[in-house]
Chain A
Amino acid sequence: MTRIFVPQDMAALAVGANKVAAKIAAEAQARGLPIEIIRTGSRGMFFLEPLIEVETAQGRIGYGPVSVADVASLFDAGLLDGGAHALRIGKPEDHPFLAPQTRLTFARCGIIDPLSLADYEAHDGWKGLKRAIEVGPQAIVDQVTKSGLRGRGGAGFPTGIKWKTVADTQADRKYVVCNADEGDSGTFADRMIMEGDPLALIEGMTICGIGVGATKGYIYCRSEYPYAGKTFSEAVRIAREAGFLGPNILGSGYAFELELRMGAGAYVCGEETALLESLEGKRGIVRAKPPLPAHKGLFAKPTVINNVLSLVAVPTVLDRGAEFYAGFGFGRSRGTMPIQIAGNVRYGGLYEIAFGLTLGELVDTVGGGTKSGRPVRAVQCGGPLGAYFPRSLFDTPFDYEAFAARDGLIGHGGIVIFDDTVDMAQMARFAMEFCAIESCGKCTPCRIGSIRGVEVVDHVLAGVKPAENMALLEDLCNTMKFGSLCALGGFAPYPVMSAVRHFREDFTPRVLAAAE
């Protein structure tokens, strides 16, 4: 029985992985070859998806991108023995995209069956949780603090300090909330984990629960990720049956229970206080802080709210120690960051590496430039609220502080590449349009300012008092930046102002062009 691994990551499905899996099964049956197809997450090399792997005497051998039409020829070439074929990439871990990576958070993703407890355990699963139970709450929080782990959702707040605040707050009930409302364009790391290694997220949340004294956790997953939701709920059921969740985790006396909730298409619910409102069943309106969620969060109880990637990093910290994790990184950005390289890119995918690589290395060396083959003109970092970087800033190291110093943000680690056909005035207009669509409506500068922002860009492009309107746009951005409670209105000016600053030549009236 030869084992063949076919991803069922949503991106692999989008490019035909199910049809390829069905064809492999049919072809093997027709040829009388005994095979077992295992569905995995993705390795994160999306340019090779669907990437199938075959277990051979020399290890797992990859082939990709495989289409249904390729399957017969793969069998002809001796697929089951790792035979030579134009699509053969050799061992995936030796591939130039994977080999230089440091996979801590994504160590198992794409390799294991996401819903197999045996696979998870065989690949170092539950070691962090077992260690956490051994050392107890105080040491858990200490380890996370010492590791230097910072919130991977975008704000970069030290995770250990957040946990300590919740641990130190007395209450009859506390919560752990996982923010899986990964709405930023160009990001897919949370989705990959929930589809490819969901038990790791369960482990991370359970450790957090023990550490801060919370007995209930919620995962708030965006509704655009139906596959992540399904796989994750199944993983929760499996973990509960095996005693990794419940009233007495592994006989330790600690209790922790998890529940998945699906969002409903509101980007602003990725903002932590809007998310809490939404979980409570209300409109996703941002709350003023203080009180901090750590003091008064979900249902006014002390709540840890962390991104998926922060929580999934925790089992490694506990298992291998804070020093090990903190040993990776750059400046005050410790550990590894799963960077997502997307958009018009030749080698798009997930690249987990210690902080510190420059933007240029990520775009040109790792990403291989644009898919269109045209020159890279702009790179948007950190989602729809992140700044556009021109080539002249490609020496910026991937690090929270270095990006902030250049009026940008790394956010959730997404990088979207644009070639020289991009119209940066339209991208600035879109940032305002997106903010108008997604604003929760609480703060006037965000709610009204974004609508006015679209109009102002339109006026500039229509040649209506362009100089005055450019000044107005800058003024408006300032008002939004300083007059909005949360990052939606506060950061929407980043893409707009970076487009204005670095690509001002695009903000010229188009009257003549329109008249032609």
Chain B
Amino acid sequence: MPEASTWNAERTREIIAEYLGLEGPMLPILHALQEEFGFISSDAIPVIADALNLTRAEVHGVVTFYHDFRHEPCGHHLLQLCRGEACQSVGSEGLAETVLGKLGVGWHGTTADGEVTVEPVYCLGLCATSPSALIDGEPLGRLDAGKISEALEEACAP
């Protein structure tokens, strides 16, 4: 996962400018900002509002509506465990409990060393090779606790 850079207003304005020609540019702008900075800083909200001629409340409303947009940076690695019914049918809830317990975090939590953030995801469309997960965006299927540990070690290896 690329290191998130710290927020800066000038770069934010540049990114917004790239998308202003689109119809309904809000989501593309937010995705691009998160891609660049790793999260949507609250300082970005007035800048977006100004560029799109919206109120800050409207922009805040959009940013907080969608599960994807983070309000603070996540750990160095992001583990997204699927909680969809197809994964549950092959024991994903127990698997998640084991993994969360091992890492010592709850859902949306980040390990004490800042290495791994764990988030739930509701279906990755890998429902015939479940249980499924993403590690830093890489899909994994037919998982068990051992495979997740292995994949995390591989991702965290220097």
- A residues with CB within 8 A of B: 10-11, 13-15, 46-47, 49, 182-188, 190-191, 223-227, 259, 261-267, 278-284, 299, 340-345, 348-349, 371-372, 380, 384, 414, 416-419, 422, 427, 430, 434, 437-438, 440
Closest A-B pairs by Cβ, 3 of them:
A281-B26, A348-B128, A185-B84
Bound together, the chains give a CA A191 to CA B61 distance in angstroms of 29
Residue from B61, B66, B86, B141 in contact with A343 in the complex, judged by beta carbons closer than 8 Å = B86
Some 30 contacts from A to B, beta carbons below 8 A apart, are A10-B124, A10-B126, A11-B141, A13-B138, A14-B129, A14-B142, A185-B86, A261-B27, A261-B28, A263-B27, A264-B66, A264-B68, A265-B121, A281-B26, A284-B66, A299-B24, A341-B128, A342-B127, A342-B130, A343-B85, A344-B89, A344-B90, A384-B122, A416-B85, A416-B86, A416-B127, A417-B89, A419-B89, A422-B89, A427-B85
B47 within 8 A of A: no
Known A15-B141, A422-B89: A185·B126 in contact at CB below 8 Å: no
Most chain B CB atoms below 10 A, which of A182, A262, A416, A417: A416
- B residues with CB within 8 A of A: 22-28, 30-31, 52, 58, 61-62, 65-69, 84-90, 121-130, 132, 137-142
Query: What number of A-B contacts does a CB cutoff of 8 Å give?
Result: 150
B62–A282 contact, CB under 8 A? Answer: yes
Bound together, the chains give a CA A191 to CA B128 distance in angstroms of 13
A117: shortest Cβ distance to chain B, in Å? 26
Residue from A10, A225, A262, A279 in contact with B31 in the complex, judged by beta carbons closer than 8 Å = A262
B128–A224 contact, CB under 8 A? Answer: no
B66–A186 contact, CB under 8 A? Answer: no
A370: shortest Cβ distance to chain B, in Å? 9
Residues of B within 8 A of A299 (CB): 23-24
A78: shortest Cβ distance to chain B, in Å? 28
A11–B89 contact, CB under 8 A? Answer: no
Residue from A259, A264, A345, A427 in contact with B27 in the complex, judged by beta carbons closer than 8 Å = A264
Report whether over half of chain B's contact residues are helix, strand or loop; otherwise say mixed.
Answer: loop
A15–B129 contact, CB under 8 A? Answer: yes
Bound together, the chains give a CA A440 to CA B65 distance in angstroms of 8
Bound together, the chains give a CA A264 to CA B141 distance in angstroms of 22
Bound together, the chains give a CA A227 to CA B124 distance in angstroms of 11
Known A279-B24, A280-B24, A430-B88: A14·B141 in contact at CB below 8 Å: yes
Residues of A within 8 A of B125 (CB): 10-11, 182, 187-188, 190-191, 224-225
A190: shortest Cβ distance to chain B, in Å? 8
Known A14-B126, A14-B132: A266·B85 in contact at CB below 8 Å: no
Residues of B within 8 A of A264 (CB): 27, 30-31, 66-69
Residues of A within 8 A of B52 (CB): 281
B74: shortest Cβ distance to chain A, in Å? 14
Residues of A within 8 A of B129 (CB): 11, 14-15, 46, 49, 348
B123–A224 contact, CB under 8 A? Answer: yes
B127: shortest Cβ distance to chain A, in Å? 4
A202: shortest Cβ distance to chain B, in Å? 19
Residues of A within 8 A of B25 (CB): 281
Bound together, the chains give a CA A264 to CA B63 distance in angstroms of 10
Most chain B CB atoms below 10 A, which of A184, A266, A341, A349: A184
Residues of B within 8 A of A434 (CB): 122
Give the residue name and chain of the A residue nearest to B87 (CB): A185
Residues of A within 8 A of B137 (CB): 226
Residues of B within 8 A of A259 (CB): 22
Residues of B within 8 A of A344 (CB): 89-90
